[in-house]
Homo-oligomer: A and B are copies of this chain.
Amino acid sequence: MAVRNASQGILADDKTEQREQIIEMLTKAYWMEIETVMSYITNSVNPDGIRAREIIESLQQDIQEELGHAQQFAARIKELYGVVPGSLEFNAEQSYLQPPEHQTDITHVVRGVIEAESGAIEHYNRIIEFTDGLDPVTNDMVIAILHDEEGHRRLFEGFLRELAPDETR
Binding site for B on A (CB under 8 A): 1-9, 11, 34-35, 37-39, 41-42, 45-55, 63, 67, 70-71, 74-75, 77-79, 81, 83-88, 90, 92, 94-95, 97-99, 103-104, 106, 111, 114-115, 118, 121-122, 125-126, 128, 132-133, 136-137, 139-141, 143-144, 146-147, 150-151, 153-154, 157-163, 165-169
Contacts and interface: CB of A to CB of B under 8 A. Distances in A.
Q: Find the residue from A7, A35, A42, A167 having the highest chain B CB count within 10 A.
A: A42
Contact of A88 (B78, B92, B122): B92
B126 A99 contact: no
24 contacts: A2-B168, A3-B111, A6-B153, A7-B122, A8-B125, A9-B146, A34-B41, A38-B87, A41-B74, A42-B84, A42-B86, A45-B74, A45-B77, A46-B83, A49-B163, A50-B162, A52-B158, A86-B97, A86-B98, A87-B97, A88-B92, A88-B94, A90-B90, A137-B143
Given A3-B168, A5-B118, A88-B95, 17 more contacts: A6-B153, A8-B122, A37-B37, A38-B90, A42-B86, A46-B84, A48-B158, A49-B162, A50-B163, A52-B158, A78-B154, A79-B150, A86-B98, A87-B98, A136-B143, A140-B144, A141-B147
A91 B31 CA distance: 15
Given A111-B3, A121-B8, A143-B137, A99 B79 contact: no
